[in-house]
Amino acid sequence: MHFPTLDKDQRRILHLLRRSGALSRSALAAELEMSATALTRLSRDLLALGLIIEGHENEGHGRGRPAVPLRLAPGGGYAVGATAHRGLLDIALVDFTGAIIATHHEASDPITPKQFARRVRSLTHELVDRHGLLGQRMLGIGVAVPGPSLSAAGDRWSVVDVLPDWRDVPLREIFATEFGWPLWIENDANAAAIAEFYLGGLIRDFSTVVVLLLGFGIGAGVIVDGRLMRGQFGVAGEIGCLFPGHLPRPSPLDLLGMLRAAGCDLPSVADIDGDAKAQAATVSAWLDRAAGQLQTVCNTAFAWIDPGAIILAGTLPSAILKGLAERLQRVELVTTVCERRPPIGISSLEGSPITLGAALLPIHSLSVSS
């Protein structure tokens, strides 16, 4: 059972409930500037589709309530997100509200797109069965890839070379053939931005945000007025081009290389620990340099886009991300009206924002008016 076609006003209602939580019909009508009659008709249709329900969360069903609010229905459907990294395959399962139902992480040898799709399909069936979702509405699957799109259509991608046979192949065709579900493919930084926007709670306060993803390399996901900004050719936010690979970069792999050069025998980025005595001096030096490099990125993003938040996210330990944010807040950042400066913070999410954001791609598509 796939998702029904929704009109613009139905999407507006769902988006407002996702942003604000439970609201009465009168509050919805006022916020959306529509008549009570129109709101009643639209909400009746959404109730019939099982996408919204009445009442506050955990509320009893006593009588005499003056106004029964509407809210998103967790059982309105579920969505899946999947990513492949160096030596790891990640899956997340979320309900219609965006709440996490389950996650799965497993070690993986280098995997081709077809092998990836088959394994994800098998794991999805297992998770759906385990969590009693058989027969419920499947909203779709999102796949996040590490690399920029090679076309505005997003069918071929310049995927990093640690994933064999992924670069410049028809990923959309391969995945669609294996999955048979509604499919979204997105750059990993854009997926991370979606996760921060919804699960990180940014949607409640901001319509425009920038997420700097320190992952395999470095990239940015930009949301403007609630929409992902992709640019003319689908590569908006590819800030890695500002830091050529043969030079020092503000990326986790660059930090890992510095630590190895300093004599720390670390297998991967996951083993970086800024509190470890043998690593502390190198980590501190990298943070000082990375803050200087990202200063221009933050200043220009702030001047061009006016985001309500600039969030640092990625694979580095939160203590290192915090140290980077603190250094950025101390450097000479630009100001605009009312002495506003780039609003820099770090991710509060547990788990991979990339995989969680991939799972939210089908849900995000329902929040964007046609």
Of 54, 72, 90, the last residue of a domain is 72
- Quick one: 185 and 253 in the same domain? no
Q: Could you tell me the pTM of the whole model?
A: 0.93
- Quick one: 265 and 247 in the same domain? yes
- Quick one: 272 and 294 in the same domain? yes
| Helix-helix angle 353-365:188-198, to 10 degrees | 80
- CA-based radius of gyration for the chain: 22
- Quick one: 91 and 159 in the same domain? yes
Contacts of 361 (CB under 8 A, 6+ apart): 79, 81, 140, 142, 184, 186, 191, 194
Of 23, 38, 72, the last residue of a domain is 72
pLDDT reported for residue 87: 79
Q: Which two tokens stand for residue 151?
A: 């076309």
Of 51, 72, 93, the last residue of a domain is 72
List pLDDT tens digits, range 65-106.
557 899 999 999 999 999 998 778 999 999 999 999 999 999
Q: Which residue segment(s) compose the domain that 295 sits in?
A: 205-348
Judge whether 166 lies within some domain.
yes
Q: What is the mean pLDDT of residues 182-196?
A: 96
pLDDT reported for residue 342: 92
- Quick one: 146 and 221 in the same domain? no
pLDDT reported for residue 160: 85
Judge whether 3 lies within some domain.
no
- Which residues are paired to 214 by β-bridges? 218, 314
Contacts of 221 (CB under 8 A, 6+ apart): 187, 189, 190, 191, 192, 193, 194, 196, 210, 211, 213, 228, 237
List pLDDT tens digits, range 301-357.
999 999 999 999 998 889 999 999 999 999 888 888 888 889 999 999 988 899 999
- Quick one: 344 and 360 in the same domain? no
pLDDT reported for residue 343: 94
- Quick one: 233 and 295 in the same domain? yes
- How many domains is the chain built from? 3
Return d(Cα 177, Cα 337) in angstroms, integer: 52
- Quick one: 224 and 343 in the same domain? yes
Give the CATH number of the domain where residue 311 resides: 3.30.420.40
